[in-house]
Chain A
């Protein structure tokens, strides 16, 4: 495997990962801007419309027909948040030319297609094509409405909204329904232009062989734009509240959800990750073994770190009558770690689990792309092996210190309506 990052224009990085085992080429272009309630929806729509059509393939049907003819090549846009940063982008993937029946130049055609989508969109007079924009807008509104369909995901989003209230990270990466409804085609187009001119951009290409034509195309296209990138802050610790806030919603559901958000002022991200692994990321973690297995208080109970905000969340599926008991036990298990009750087996198994996960980086194009992008955001581009060395150097004392730095900040409850009546 060869990894290389070059700067191809002002604040535009182009990383390639060449690994000959892959049968596909994979391209991800990420635009990063500060997450802001005023611009989130227009940004998301301005990016999303780019994969609906372009100046040559002027309808979604024509674009999809072309992708289908290129052996089902994939093209999509995405929006997500990482702490206080909104990340928008376009992802494309295709099979290697050597698998084409008729000697088609799939990679060349996809390079051109992606370039047209990004730099020659289906737009005129400062607006996107009306049909493409209408489809995109409906899609965005449907996506926002459908968040409730996934109850676990919805509960985690609501918990973030409560925990990070008053900070950029309280916002959804799509904006609110109201703000999305109000975005016009002109505003989405302006947002798109602004992203091209001011966003920090990172491009990742993962394939079996380098593609100089792709790098050249991206370099020329970004180079032709007068760019002045706005800085983004990838890590902004969220301040702890003076009192724990509890909020709830009621729905016609059969299983309640509880999400606890803890906050920390610690900068020891490696100790925090090990703490999280021991506490609730694996089936032998304290939360799984005790809260679920021994006490049968939750069907699931797991934790994850939100390093970009200095937070850790525990989410669970729980029956209403067990909510208080589960909450007490979840906190008691953290207290165990705070008091240093970590066995050698627990530490060893957490390290083994991390080692296995890190060694698997590189088995899919996406895992390479995500790994190097996350390290770029961390400001420290290291290999998975180097990262594992950091984990190995974490002592129990550092884990205890990380646990003691955590305080409960907020609680979100999704309650069952019938029981409430």
Chain B
């Protein structure tokens, strides 16, 4: 196995990448001076992957919504005990999460990382479900779904996605619905497990107070080689246009909240990274706390400091989101349209562009200051098909024309949607 050292030309930070003989991609970042260790063992399997086949399959398999998240919950149990009980013996804090495009199992600790890593690698490779434990989990996840339905930030976000996407499963709640998870059984879980938890579809990232040689020795000991079976995931055809321009819901909130988003064209790899950075700089130029639009809306009382932006994307979806609290979200939407038009007409002030670029660079430097952030950066970059330090490089080569081009092509009024959660009337 060859250890490839990847170094950032911009900051001098470096990490090690190994393509393990088992099929697994491994990223290791030794961080001298830090006490903690963060490890993530993840698969490219999230809530959007509801349709898939292997090279030898004739037909695509379609699975119920929420099954990736369900599987994540179930992997925490092995035949003898709960995984948390194993971590309790090392002192590590174990956890897991399922997002739209990945499922990750993780631990953080400051001592005995070797034993914790063995636990992590072992339990993720050893599924154990029975119909009885599956039935019980349906109750627990049902409660989780209810809890997230009470979270207005979550609701406003999914309502926005439902305004944008006709068919893409990104519009479905990660945990599914009480009805969809009722269709899940042990056999279906095993099928999904053996499809997506193939080491060729997985990544291990580990950062902090570690030794790369020790990590690799543990990987040699614990990883079971997998044959690459040519996994293929597909998504339903998604038209460019939106479903509806706005959606309002009532919930018990003290302050109304909104998400305003542009539905953009999706892409992959380096192209997606470039587009993400252009979108990030564009949204900052339009609306960050030093912009004219922010000042105007703040003066008019239409926004407060919760106002922010996010670029949200993955396989088959790409959006730029403006969110916050407002008693008049339509005013925010109108201001955004007006400001975008003005910038497209007048161009980008180079001084402003340089300032936002510096500010974004500062944020990326801060990420490298934190063990957890570094471990996440390594796994996310790999799953997005880019190098760990490519973001800073893309930023340093970006021009204001790239940003303007993005705005021209993607921040189109017809593809803009607004979702609002309003408080209950007294």
Residues of A within 8 A of B (CB): 19-24, 59-61, 64-65, 67-73, 93-95, 99, 101, 131, 135, 138-139, 142, 144-149, 151, 251-255, 282-284, 288-289, 292-293, 296, 298-300, 317, 319, 345, 348-349, 352-353, 355-357, 359-360, 362-364
Contacts and interface: CB of A to CB of B under 8 A. Distances in A.
A64 B289 contact: yes
B152 A149 contact: yes
Contact of B91 (A65, A145, A353): A353
Contact of B150 (A19, A146, A255, A353): A255
B295 interface: yes
A317 B143 contact: yes
A284 B255 contact: no
Top-10 shortest CB links A-B: A352-B91, A71-B362, A21-B33, A359-B110, A72-B359, A72-B362, A145-B254, A349-B88, A283-B84, A299-B143
Interface stretch (B236-244, B298-306, B400-408): B298-306
Given A255-B143, A356-B111, A23 B295 contact: no
A296 B140 contact: yes
A355 B362 contact: no
Interface in B78-110: 82, 84-85, 87-94, 108-110
A73 B362 contact: yes
19 contacts: A22-B369, A23-B369, A61-B292, A68-B358, A131-B299, A142-B306, A146-B325, A254-B146, A255-B143, A282-B84, A282-B88, A282-B93, A296-B136, A317-B143, A317-B147, A319-B143, A349-B88, A353-B93, A356-B91
B33 A253 contact: no
Q: Which of A60, A70, A283, A292 has the most CB of B within 10 A?
A: A283
B391 interface: no
Contacts of B413: none
B362 A148 contact: no
B360 interface: yes
Contacts of A355: 91, 110-111
A348 B112 CA distance: 14
Given A20-B33, A360-B35, 8 more contacts: A59-B295, A72-B361, A142-B304, A142-B306, A251-B252, A282-B88, A352-B89, A363-B371
Interface residues of B, number: 71
A265 B159 CA distance: 49
Given A151-B150, A254-B150, A355-B111, A284 B88 contact: yes
A106 to B, nearest CB: 9
The B interface, classified by DSSP as helix, strand, loop or mixed, is mixed
B255 A142 contact: yes
A359 B369 contact: no
Contacts of B94: 283
Given A296-B136, A355-B111, A359-B111, A71 B149 contact: no
B167 interface: no
Interface string B275-316: 000000000000011111011001101001110000000000
A238 B110 CA distance: 36
Contacts of A67: 290, 359
Nearest to A148: B254
Contacts of B7: none
Contacts of A345: 88-89
Contacts of A252: 250-252, 424
A57 B424 CA distance: 40
A146 B254 contact: yes
Q: Which of B33, B294, B371 has the most CB of A within 10 A?
A: B33
Contacts of B290: 61, 64-65, 67-68
Nearest to B324: A142
A151 B143 contact: no
A117 to B, nearest CB: 15
